[in-house]
Amino acid sequence: MAAAKRITILGATGSVGQSTLDLINRDRDDYEVIALTANEDVGGLARIARESGAKLAVIGNPSLASELAEALAGSGIETAAGADAICDAAAMDTDLVMAAIVGAAGIPSAMAAIEAGNTIGLANKESLVSAGSLMLEAARKRGVTILPVDSEHNAIFQCFDHDRPEGISSIILTASGGPFRQWSREEMRNVTPERAVQHPNWSMGAKISIDSATLMNKGLELIEARYLFDLPPDDCRIIVHPQSVIHSLVEYRDGSVLAQLGAPDMRVPIAHVLAWPQRMDTPCERLDLAQVARLDFEEPDTERFPALKLARSAMEAGGARPAILNAANEEAVAAFLGGRIGFLDIAAIVADVLGSYAPDAPICLDDVFAIDKAARIKAQEQMDSYAA
């Protein structure tokens, strides 16, 4: 029997982290957990560390160090705390690091995994949006494979002819359209965070659920795809497909279009990444095409969903624009979830910040962090002026 594959999960208490552990815990002969990390949820982290037999558990918030040590006392599981300790965990020798932290907070650990030469399963799209060129350059230098976990990118990865990319003419990301696909702007104006997090097809963390409602998620994914698959912006397209059965498509020069289909369950792309280049069994629902019966498609509406337009122009401009877009969006989404601003204000604030801040393109990671920080401050200033 082959040795078990060693897995580290960054952001293990989150939605993607839990789905990853669900698959691993069903197949303990083939997968072994090395390290698990979380930001604040000590109880949740301690529980999953015990359940999965992890070697190391790391909590991001350094003030929770002793609480975690107490929670795992006598278990034989090592503990550590702080942002640097998360990077150290990412750099430990493993077969796969699942990067499932939410937001630009995941950049340092994703980079640490790459620089250590670890194969990376990338769910944390914000790190690619903000630091895409630097991350891909680091991966190329170290010969690191980045396996996309995001369902659309995983679909494209599966349909993409990696040996002959010149045969590809475009990639087409599918979008469910989110919970407000058919709503007018007027109807969207007063939606509550509770309503906006209710996605019709997918169950996900709060931030990405809001991004799915504004369609900023698809905008971030467009930028993510552009970096991952190294295609010109014009060849990266979006189509709304409400059933979320086709997870994305690749169009070839001869007119052939390849698609990946499946039930909308993140465990399918996660399983693909865990087992790659092999396949593994999953308990996921099988696709019943007769029951699906029909597949619908429509053009995305960038008037009702301006986040799409902002993301496309940030992608086209490149440089610092995607990092600014992402940072402003993270701040605005947090403010919306906290009841400080309205739903339509999210994209408006991102537009304001993009319009008022134009730094040079980042050439190193510290530049990215500085741009990210400045864009967040600008977003906060904008929100103060809205609230005033």
- In the complex, the residues that contact ligand NAD under the rule CB under 6 A are 11-17, 38-39, 41, 60, 86, 100-102, 105, 123-126, 150, 202, 204-205, 207-208, 266
In angstroms, give the least distance from the CB of 140 to ligand NAD. 22
**Residue 224 is a binding residue for Mg ion (CB under 5 A):** no
C-beta of 69 vs 101, nearer to ligand NAD: 101
* 162 belongs to an annotated ligand binding site: no
In angstroms, give the least distance from the CB of 59 to ligand NAD. 9
Total of residues contacting Mg ion (CB under 5 A): 3
Tokens encoding 201: 């097809």
Partner from Mg ion, ligand NAD, none binding residue 250, C-beta < 5-8 Å depending on class: none
Q: Are strands 96-99 and 168-175 parallel, antiparallel or unpaired?
A: unpaired
C-beta of 330 vs 345, nearer to Mg ion: 330
In angstroms, give the least distance from the CB of 212 to ligand NAD. 9
Q: Which residues have a Cβ under 8 Å from the Cβ of 248 and sit 6 or more positions away?
A: 151, 152, 153, 155, 156, 159, 171, 172, 173, 174, 259, 260
* 8 belongs to an annotated ligand binding site: no
Of 150, 251, 330, 372, which one interacts with Mg ion (CB under 5 A)?
150
Partner from ligand NAD, Mg ion, none binding residue 13, C-beta < 5-8 Å depending on class: ligand NAD
C-alpha dist (Å) from residue 110 to 35, 63, 107, 326: 14, 23, 5, 17
> 41: number of CA atoms within 13 Å, CB side?
13
* 356 belongs to an annotated ligand binding site: no
Partner from ligand NAD, Mg ion, none binding residue 306, C-beta < 5-8 Å depending on class: none
Core vs surface per residue 352-376: b (16+ CB within 10 A) or e: bbbeebeeeebeebebbbebbebbb
Partner from Mg ion, ligand NAD, none binding residue 14, C-beta < 5-8 Å depending on class: ligand NAD
From residue 107 to residue 146, what is the string marking binding to Mg ion with x (rule CB under 5 A)?
----------------------------------------
Task: List, edge to edge, every strand of the sheet that includes 246-252.
Answer: 236-240, 168-175, 246-252, 257-261
Partner from ligand NAD, Mg ion, none binding residue 102, C-beta < 5-8 Å depending on class: ligand NAD
* 94 belongs to an annotated ligand binding site: no
Of the candidate spans 147-155, 248-256, 321-329, 353-361, the one that interacts with Mg ion by CB under 5 A turns out to be 147-155
Q: Which long-range contacts (CB under 8 A, 24 or more apart) does 186-189 make?
A: 188/304, 188/343, 188/344, 189/342, 189/343, 189/344
Q: Which residues are annotated as a binding site?
A: 13-16, 124-126, 150-152, 176, 199, 205, 212, 217-218, 221
**Residues near Mg ion (CB under 5 A):** 150-152
Q: Which residues are annotated as a binding site for NADPH?
A: 13-16, 124, 126, 205
